[in-house]
Amino acid sequence: MNKNAIVVNNLSKQFGQFKAVDDISFEVAKGEIFGFLGANGAGKTTAMKMLCGLSMPTSGQASVAGFDVYKENESIKKNIGYMSQKFSLYEDLTVRENIKFYAGIYGIAPQKIKDKTNQLLQQLVLEKEADMLVSQLPLGWKQKLAFSVAIFHEPQIVFLDEPTGGVDPITRREFWNLIYDAAAIGITIFVTTHYMDEAEYCNRVSIMVDGKIEALDSPGNLKKTFNAKSMDEVFLHLARKAKRIE
Amino acid sequence: MSPLRYILEKEFKQIFRNPAILKVIFIMPVIQLIMLPMAADYEIKNINIAVIDRDHSAVSNQLVQKITASNYFKLVSYDNDFDAAMESIENDKADLILEIPKNFEVNLYNEKESKLFLAVNAINGVKANLGAAYLTNIVQAYNADFRIETLTPGRFTEMPIIEISSSNWYNPKMNYKIFMVPGILVLLITIVGMNLSSINIVREKEMGTIEQINVTPIKKAHFILGKLIPFWVIGIVVISVGFLIAWLVYGIIPLGSYFTLYVFAAIYLMVILGIGLLISSYSENQQQAMLVTFFIMMIFVLMGGLYTSIDSMPIWARWFTRLNPISYFIEVMRMVVLKGSRINDIAPQLLIMVIYAIFINTWAVLSYHKRS
């Protein structure tokens, strides 16, 4: 059908007088790794929440996985994965129990959950820790686990909200390997980040400033357009225009 | 398999992994059920009485002896000075002053009439009222004895004596424990149930896991049921422990059937847990939820008919207690435990609880928004 996983037209979200997201439009192709950049308070998380069906848009249209965000938000939820800024696995459950719980509420068959859990634990080298409480794992491992849980039900699109915040460079690299693996099996990746080196890993990036999308292109093209050596420069050039104070 | 099963599995694991919750569920109710009925006693004992005896006669002596022999009164001063007695009231040492006037005995024999003066310290209203009533009883009894002793029957019976003898139905010995224990059990399962459920959803909000739940295709009713059922099971367990203690410690066995009590408790718990979940879904954090729960609990408990009689409340308050689930359960508890009421006797209360449960839980499901 449509080759786009996400289509957004003039989407806005207003809280009282404050326009958190101000008339944004973009498309994300299926299988793409789409970087969603912006300074703190630029409106990234709000925009992402609207697409995930966690927040009701004020105006504009958007469809995710072919479903309308207004009317078909529960259908969207079956087809997406989401990893929020806040760590969201249960600390008082073990690794295995967390996987089982989330897989279970997506309606995956018990036998499949079992098989896939073992496979996943092997892949993440977490077999020894499988029956440990999640609270005992180091942050980097938790993040990798949270990502794996978010894509356990094989969604079409996964939304990642600053997934590598506070994580060391080695783990960040490993995390991105997981993202590439997911993209390789056809999952569309929608990711926000503050690390400009990570922006370079994306197929295309958009940069949000004060609720608006100021630039959208591949990292290479953006650098050319703004005559910059790195994504860092591109970002600083655009984000400095921001009037919003956090 | 239904997603509900996975939610229940997770909730139970979390509950049993939290040592604080287990203590709240089991140890606290046991301690409270053993401690509270012993202390929360309706009978007033140790009323401090100051006697001013200006007569110092055989009769006045006898009267004072009767009073002190009753076990209700403690003689704190025996004097013939009113000011000294008044001072003991001011110092809170005495609750009552009984003044026996001069010539009490003489008047009683000659005039067939004599007066006593009673002053009551009404700072502790309950104690003062009951004290005055007890004392009046003792004096009346003494009066009757006096007549029999001194007057020849038939000749001088100027006044007929009317005596009221009462028998206490359903609780013949007026054992207040039979009356209090079932009521305290109701309070306990209410407090445990409402507290646990009210901090539950809000805890997920604080940890951020609610957002992860909200991006799944989970059904709202499944989510709420997943929260409700574990606490319902715990509530039933707590009430069973309570029945056991009532039997082992107080020897209380309901005259009616346990089945009737469990049927009512099952529906009642749905109401209480629903209120808890409702509080939880409107609260931002655990402190808020606990504060609101505490406020509601206090009104429910104090206006539930355990500590004060609903019938003696003003009309508006009586209307208000009709919204109070505790008042229904306490009523039903007493009916079944003391009177042996059957399920069709409690049908009206049961019906109200069913409607209440449906209303509250529908509201709880509707108030939970997956999208803001």
Range of the domain at B72: 47-150
Nearest chain B CA: its distance from A105 CA (Å): 5
CATH superfamily of A30-53+80-239: P-loop containing nucleotide triphosphate hydrolases (3.40.50.300)
* Chain B residue closest in CA terms to A153: B216
Which has the higher per-residue pLDDT, A1 or A203?
A203
Indicate the pairing of strand B96-100 with strand B73-79: unpaired
Whether residues B251 and B112 share a domain: the answer is no
Comparing A199-208, B136-145, B243-252, the range with the smallest average pLDDT is B136-145
* CB-CB contact of B181 with B33 (8 Å): yes
* CB-CB contact of A80 with A29 (8 Å): no
* CB-CB contact of B135 with B50 (8 Å): no
- Region A67-90 average pLDDT: 90
Whether residues B138 and B279 share a domain: the answer is no
Query: Looking at the domain assignment, is residue B18 inside a domain?
Result: yes
Whether residues B295 and B346 share a domain: the answer is yes
pLDDT at residue A202 is higher than 90:
yes
Position B20 scores a pLDDT of 81
pLDDT at residue B34 is higher than 60:
yes
- Give the CA dihedral B56, B58, B63, B69, nearest 10 degrees: 110
- Region B256-272 average pLDDT: 95
Which backbone phi and psi does B252 adopt, to 5 degrees?
A: -90, 120
- Region A218-242 average pLDDT: 88
Cβ of B10 and A97 within 8 Å?
A: yes
Whether residues B242 and B268 share a domain: the answer is yes
Query: Looking at the domain assignment, is residue B156 inside a domain?
Result: no
Whether residues B177 and B131 share a domain: the answer is no
Name the β-bridge partners of A205: A35, A217
| Identity of the residue numbered B88 | S
Angle between helices A110-123 and A95-105 (to 10 degrees): 140
Query: Looking at the domain assignment, is residue B167 inside a domain?
Result: no
Which has the higher per-residue pLDDT, B95 or A136?
A136
Position B156 scores a pLDDT of 54
Nearest to B208 among A81, A86, A93 (CB): A86
Whether residues B104 and B251 share a domain: the answer is no
- Region B38-62 average pLDDT: 81
The Cα–Cα gap between B44 and B128 comes to 10
Position A35 scores a pLDDT of 94
Interface of A with B in 99-118 (CB under 8 A): 100-102, 104-107, 109-110
Cβ of B7 and A105 within 8 Å?
A: yes
Query: Looking at the domain assignment, is residue B98 inside a domain?
Result: yes
Query: Looking at the domain assignment, is residue B157 inside a domain?
Result: no
The Cα–Cα gap between B53 and B51 comes to 6
Position B356 scores a pLDDT of 96
Position A41 scores a pLDDT of 84
Whether residues B58 and B122 share a domain: the answer is yes
Cβ of B10 and A82 within 8 Å?
A: no
How far from B239 is each of A59, A105, B193, CA to CA, in Å? 52, 32, 11
Cβ of A88 and B5 within 8 Å?
A: no
B294 token code pair: 């505490």
pLDDT at residue B324 is higher than 90:
yes
* CB-CB contact of A50 with A57 (8 Å): yes
Query: Looking at the domain assignment, is residue B96 inside a domain?
Result: yes
pLDDT at residue B166 is higher than 70:
no
Comparing B16-20, B58-62, B154-158, the range with the smallest average pLDDT is B154-158
The Cα–Cα gap between A80 and B317 comes to 52
* DSSP sequence for A124-161: TT-TTTTTSBGGGS-HHHHHHHHHHHHTTT--SEEEEE
* Structural domains in chain B (count): 2
Cβ atoms within 10 Å, residue B215: 25
Asked casually if ipTM beats, i.e. exceeds, 0.90, the reply is: no
Comparing A29-33, A136-140, A216-220, B168-172, the range with the smallest average pLDDT is B168-172
Whether residues B284 and B136 share a domain: the answer is no
Nearest chain B CA: its distance from A124 CA (Å): 21
Position B67 scores a pLDDT of 85
Cβ of A110 and B13 within 8 Å?
A: no
- Region B264-274 average pLDDT: 96
Whether residues B19 and B73 share a domain: the answer is no
Position B311 scores a pLDDT of 82
pLDDT at residue A12 is higher than 80:
yes
Task: Tell me the CATH number at B72.
Answer: 3.40.1710.10
Question: Among A78, A88, A94, A100, which would you mutate to test the B interface (most chain B Cβ atoms within 10 Å of its Cβ)?
Answer: A88
Position A2 scores a pLDDT of 65
Which has the higher per-residue pLDDT, B143 or B172?
B143
